Amino acid sequence: LTKDRYPNIKRGDYAELNQNHLDYFHGLLGQNRVLSDPSDCEMYNIDFIKGVRGYSQCVLKPQTTEEVSKILSFCNQHRLAVCPQGGNTGLVGGSVPVFDEIVLSTSLMNNIISIDNISGVVVCEAGCILESLDDVLREKGLMMPLDLGAKGSCNIGGNVSTNAGGLRLLRYGNLHGSVLGIEAVKANGDVIDCLSTLKKDNTGYHLKHLFIGSEGTLGIVTKVAVHGPSKPKSLNLALLGLHSFENILQTYERAKNDLSEILSSCEMMDERSLDVVTSHLKLKSPIGDFPFYMVVETSGSNEKHDEEKLNAFLEGVMSEGIVADGTVTNEPGKMRAIWDLRERITEGLLHDGYLFKYDISLPIKEFYSLVPKMKERLGSDASRVSGYGHIGDGNIHLNISVPEFSPDILKKVEPYVYELTSTYKGSISAEHGVGFRKPPYIHYSKSENAISLMKDLKKMMDPNGILNPYKVLPS
């Protein structure tokens, strides 16, 4: 797959795995935590959207920081390339090997180390599954500050390494704010202990930020300290139907002003995005058909106050004809059903065939402009051009579905889509990262000097380039 699509990528000058290497790993981890049977390695070689496939013959499953350190020190000495992997839900091909890189899976590093009920800080290992962490925190009146459709599989280490955004970034900010501390292992095996649990700590350079969003190219995150906010006592969710994108902008502005501190999520989807989950996954929408939809969530501490505010907001936007129809609920089952309509679009899209997937930040007024432009440009070449995402964060997910991959269609889409984004001064990767798919296009969003400094940092922290090669930085 990869070879056909990316003929310009050459395998780096790394050693090939041999029996001596395997003997070392067996000695360190035992037989069960070293996978070398091709069928056992298969799932670690293919990414979620089945767009990138490597052929690694070795998956390592360390359980401690010390083991990660020993693995990296050995790989660095023997010039063996390593691909760090968490839940393998990444959407830019960063989590799977491109060639035969060793996969270092954090899946067995899944202990919660401590939870402080008063400060809300949770300290845990990188392989903890996001949803499991959230479940444990909720029992203590806390919650994780991020939520995304992949929560059942993605790991907190993967979330931190991609600086994942998700459905409530609008309320709780991104992980650069919520992550208080990190322990990471550098390519040479050095353990960098920045596992502070303090909210304020201005002692020198803020090194943890190097690991947040660097997609496994600067080090392997082994532990994190995250600030968990209080679990809301009152929760409401509305699904709204709207006639135009202009109405979405008006509704978002009103939601911000009318709901202010209780607004916890503001998402949008177009009709072709909703159709993905109703047609392919057979989910039912509780409202009629409209060109656009919004999901608006409130969370707070006083049910009566929140309901009053939400009802006043809804009455206002509906009586003025900004919102055409809607439903609002605080029943957990009904709220889950509405969230599924939004969260399962990624999964549903896979049923369309091959996907050209873009994750773009744009100035809010231009948020939707790429969708009609790409639709017109592609005509009948595309079976679906859909747009949905985090309107409150100015981040749209543009998905172009085609029955199967075609280099001719690729040429029509790229680099045009990146050029357009750059014209609007947007970002070509708002939340999913650069991974394997986007390094050649990073210059559309980063200056030459910024890219050069990134390369210098990489050289300093990983001089042999063993950590996640072919990813993030352009060659």
> Site for ligand FAD (CB under 6 A): which residue of 52, 91, 276, 341?
91
- Using CB under 6 A as the binding rule, whether residue 149 contacts ligand 2HG is answered as yes
Q: Which residues contact residue 227 at a Cβ distance below 8 angstroms, ignoring those fewer than 6 apart?
A: 119, 120, 121, 145, 178, 179, 180, 199
In our burial notation (b when 16+ CB lie closer than 10 A, e otherwise), range 254-293 reads: bbeebbeebbbbbbbbbebbbbbbeebeebebeeeebebb
Residue among 174, 265, 346, 468 that touches ligand 2HG (CB under 6 A): 346
In the complex, the smallest distance separating the C-beta of residue 129 from ligand FAD, rounded to whole angstroms, is: 8
CA dihedral 370, 450, 472, 432 (to 10 degrees): -40
User: What share of residues in the chain are helix, strand, coil (percent, to 5)?
Assistant: 40, 20, 40
Q: Rule CB under 6 A: which of 373-392 touch ligand 2HG?
A: 389
To which residue do tokens 């950590």 refer?
A: 467
Distance between CA 132 and CA 110 in Å, rounded? 10
Residue type, 160: V
Order of strands across the sheet with 112-115?
Answer: 112-115, 121-125, 220-227, 179-185, 191-194
Residues 358, 401 contacting (CB under 8 angstroms) = no
155-176 burial code (b ≥16 CB/10 A, e <16)? bbbbbbbbbbbbbbbbbbebbe
Rounded Cα distance between 475 and 469, Å, is 10
CB of 359 to ligand 2HG, least distance (A): 6
Using CB under 6 A, which of 51, 62, 94, 120 touches ligand FAD? 94
Q: Position of tokens 């992550």?
A: 179
Check binding of 150 to ligand FAD (CB under 6 A).
yes
Residue 97 binds ligand FAD, judged by CB under 6 A: no
Q: Do residues 169 and 393 make contact, with C-beta atoms less than 8 angstroms apart?
A: yes
Q: Does residue 357 bind ligand FAD (CB under 6 A)?
A: no
Query: Which CB sits closer to ligand FAD, 262 or 345?
Result: 345
The dihedral through the CA atoms of 454, 456, 457, 463 has a sign that is positive
Maximum Cα interatomic distance, the chain, rounded to a whole number of Å: 73
Which residues on adjacent β-strands are paired with residue 53?
46
The strands making up 102-105's β-sheet, listed across from edge to edge, are 34-35, 59-60, 102-105, 82-85
**Which 18-57 residues touch ligand FAD, going by CB under 6 A?**
48
- Per CB under 6 A, 84 contacts ligand FAD: yes
Q: Which of residues 180-219 bind ligand FAD (CB under 6 A)?
A: 215-216
32-91 residues in contact with ligand 2HG (CB under 6 A) are: 91
Smallest distance from the beta carbon of 469 to ligand FAD, in angstroms? 11
CB of 159 to ligand FAD, least distance (A): 4
CB of 297 to ligand FAD, least distance (A): 14
Which listed option, ligand FAD, ligand 2HG, none, makes contact with residue 397 (CB within 5 to 8 Å by class)? Answer: ligand 2HG
- 151: contact with ligand 2HG by CB under 6 A: no
Separation CA 384–CA 446 (nearest Å): 30
300 interacts with, out of ligand FAD, ligand 2HG, none, CB within 5 to 8 A per kind:
none
By a kind-dependent CB cut-off of 5 to 8 A, residue 389 interacts, out of ligand FAD, ligand 2HG, none, with ligand 2HG
Q: Which of residues 416-455 bind ligand 2HG (CB under 6 A)?
A: 431
Q: What sign results for the dihedral spanned by CA atoms 89, 90, 92, 95?
A: negative
Q: What is the DSSP string of 357-397?
A: EEEEE--GGGTTTHHHHHHHHHGGG-SEEEEEEEGGGTEEE
Rule CB under 6 A: say whether 397 interacts with ligand 2HG: yes
Which range binds ligand FAD by CB under 6 A, 7-15, 27-35, 142-150, 301-309?
142-150
Near ligand FAD by CB under 6 A: residue from 45, 76, 85, 178: 85
Degrees, nearest 5: CA angle 13-158-108: 90
- Please say which residue, 157 or 465, places its beta carbon nearer to ligand FAD: 157
Which C-beta is closer to ligand 2HG: that of 66 or that of 347? Answer: 347
Of residues 317-356, those binding ligand FAD (CB under 6 A): 346-347
93: contact with ligand 2HG by CB under 6 A: no
126 is in the binding site of which of ligand FAD, ligand 2HG, none (Cβ under 5 to 8 A by kind)? ligand FAD
* Residue numbers 220-249 binding ligand 2HG by CB under 6 A: none
| Contact positions vs ligand 2HG (CB under 6 A) | 91, 149, 345-346, 357, 389, 397, 399, 431
| Contact positions vs ligand FAD (CB under 6 A) | 48, 83-91, 94-95, 106, 126, 148-150, 154-155, 157-159, 161-162, 164-166, 215-216, 220-221, 346-347, 431-432, 435, 468
